[in-house]
Chain A
Amino acid sequence: MSNASSQVSSTHAAVTSRGLPGRSVLAGLLIGVGVAGFIDETVFHQLLHWHHSYDKSTPTAGLVSDGFFHAGSWIALVVGWFLIADMHRRRATVPRRVLAGGLLGWGAFQVYDGLFQHKVLDLHEIRYGVNLAPYDLIWNISGAIGILAGIALLFGSARPISLRPGVDVPETAGQHGQTASR
């Protein structure tokens, strides 16, 4: 019994001091991809009408790729927020790693959309009837900067919210972060 108790305490200490960095990155990634997909869909497709996500010349491969990405990005957003909520009640969120994942996810979506969907699959362009070069450059370079900044934030020390100054940690908070993984 005393063995079990010290195990619980040490797990408790490990989780409160490290938080859940891996899951923080994952939640950030999902939200980053989701937000990029949401902006792509609502701002560029629906509001500005710059993109045509579908016209009659759209090849089927592009349609399929776009369809799964569209559905996936909504669902990624929902899953990402629930993961954050779960880590928050465990006081195990690592904000720096969430940001790292978020920038990575957003940048990766941007570059995937810009290089693969726009160019390789020829799904649609950013805008029609204008010189595309500056748009393509801004689109892809902003994505690349997101990826690089995200990678940079994956390194270096990062503290979970339980160790932030001014945050009271309840006696038994933050332990056994792995119970929810299924």
Chain B
Amino acid sequence: MHEHTGTGGASGWVLALLPLSIAALLYVLARRRLVSRGGAWPAARTWAALGGMLCLAVALTPPLADRTGYFPAHVAQHLLTVMLAPLLLALSAPVTLALRSLPVVPGPTGAPRRLLLEFLHSPLLRVLTTPLVVAVLEVGSLYGLYLTPLFGALHDHAWLHVLVHTHMFLSGCLLSWLLVSPDPMPHRPSVTVRVVLLIVVAGGHNILAKLMYARALPAGAGPVEEVQLGAQWMYYGGDLIDVLLAVALLAGWYRRSGRALRHERRRAASLDRTAPGTIAPS
């Protein structure tokens, strides 16, 4: 067990589970605090949070974490950490939960909430959530990793491995948050722009998987058959999660416009009742 390559053997994955457990615990505690004060929190969001953490945990522990030398296992890890986990975590709305459960008081007790708000309105986040930047970060880093010698270099340097995968996870989160998260995001682009962004990113995934299959890339990832099998997993798995992203994006639009429609109908109904014969003060 201790001699395996990858993220550094047994101690590596125990270390990876620690922040995950803390994050899951914080989410559950925040939810409990909110509910105990009379707030409502949809159960689906809690399940999404736990599901997202589970995806990360499965990807970072054996048997998957032991077999990073086998390329399809690497692809499974990639799909879990960079696509599925960010989608579920974005749907779990942790920022909304934090804003609603952190104390709103002056002084150091209220500092976490103020810092979070400051971050939400920071120029950095505004630049990072520009659709073009998101597309370049998401598709560009994939192409950089899989079509260049970078992938081979990951095996030689553990720190590079951690750095690159953290970067990929964060880009995946950025994309998922922008597309589907109920969390507040100032300057979030319109639904139409988000659909176009998703088509660009999904097309990029599709083309990348075919290039990997045809040219047996990344170089140094093992025998050609293993690389091609991994590329196929990338192709079908990527397609599936891109469709899930589209469904989540449109379902969010459908729910929000339904709310607006009900509001509109109530207003029109009350106007229709007061209108005939009466002169309402304007």
A-side residues, CB < 8 A to B, are 1-2, 4-6, 8-9, 12, 53-56, 58, 63-64, 67-68, 70-72, 74-75, 78-79, 82, 85-86, 89-90, 171-173, 175-176, 179-180, 182
Chain A residues near B148 (CB-CB < 8 A): none
15 example contacts (A-B, Cβ-Cβ < 8 A) are as follows A1-B275, A5-B274, A54-B214, A64-B207, A71-B239, A71-B242, A75-B195, A79-B246, A82-B250, A86-B254, A86-B257, A172-B265, A179-B260, A180-B253, A182-B192
Known: A71-B205, A180-B253. 16 other contacts (CB 8 A): A1-B279, A1-B280, A9-B275, A53-B210, A67-B210, A71-B202, A71-B203, A71-B242, A74-B246, A82-B253, A89-B261, A172-B265, A172-B268, A172-B272, A173-B265, A175-B268
Complex contact B203–A68 (CB within 8 A): yes
Complex contact A9–B272 (CB within 8 A): yes
Q: Out of B243, B253, B271, which one reaches A4, CB within 8 Å? A: B271
A150 to B12, CA, bound (A): 60
A115 to B150, CA, bound (A): 39
Complex contact A75–B253 (CB within 8 A): no
A79 to B250, CA, bound (A): 7
> Is there a chain A Cβ closer than 8 Å to B112's Cβ?
no
> Is there a chain A Cβ closer than 8 Å to B39's Cβ?
no
Chain B residues near A176 (CB-CB < 8 A): 261, 264, 268
A84 to B85, CA, bound (A): 30
A4 nearest CB neighbor, chain B only: B271
Chain A residues near B190 (CB-CB < 8 A): 182
A99 to B275, CA, bound (A): 39
Residues of B227-255 whose CB lies within 8 A of A: 239, 242-243, 246-247, 250-251, 253-254
Complex contact B258–A2 (CB within 8 A): no
Q: Out of B202, B211, B274, B281, which one reaches A74, CB within 8 Å? A: B202
> Is there a chain A Cβ closer than 8 Å to B213's Cβ?
yes
Complex contact B254–A85 (CB within 8 A): yes
> Is there a chain A Cβ closer than 8 Å to B11's Cβ?
no
Complex contact B275–A78 (CB within 8 A): no
A82 nearest CB neighbor, chain B only: B250
A42 to B188, CA, bound (A): 35
A71 to B207, CA, bound (A): 10
- By Cβ-Cβ distance, the 4 closest A-B pairs, closest first, are A71-B202, A180-B257, A1-B280, A68-B203
Complex contact A12–B268 (CB within 8 A): yes
Chain B residues near A68 (CB-CB < 8 A): 199-200, 203, 206-207
Chain B residues near A63 (CB-CB < 8 A): 207, 210-211
- B93, chain A: closest CB distance, angstroms: 20
- B274, chain A: closest CB distance, angstroms: 7
Complex contact A171–B269 (CB within 8 A): yes
A75 to B194, CA, bound (A): 12
B273 nearest CB neighbor, chain A only: A5
Chain B residues near A54 (CB-CB < 8 A): 210, 213-214
B266 nearest CB neighbor, chain A only: A172
Complex contact B243–A74 (CB within 8 A): yes
Chain A residues near B210 (CB-CB < 8 A): 53-54, 63, 67
A72 to B205, CA, bound (A): 12
Complex contact A75–B246 (CB within 8 A): yes
Complex contact B257–A179 (CB within 8 A): yes
The listed residue with most B CB atoms (<10 A of its CB), out of A75, A79, A182, is: A75
Q: Out of A8, A67, A71, A75, which one reaches B268, CB within 8 Å? A: A8
Query: Given that A82-B253, A86-B257 are contacting pairs, would A175 and B214 also be in contact in the complex, using a CB cutoff of 8 Å?
Result: no
The listed residue with most B CB atoms (<10 A of its CB), out of A79, A86, A176, is: A79
The listed residue with most A CB atoms (<10 A of its CB), out of B192, B207, B213, B242, is: B207
Chain A residues near B198 (CB-CB < 8 A): 75
- A126, chain B: closest CB distance, angstroms: 20
Chain B residues near A8 (CB-CB < 8 A): 267-268, 271-272
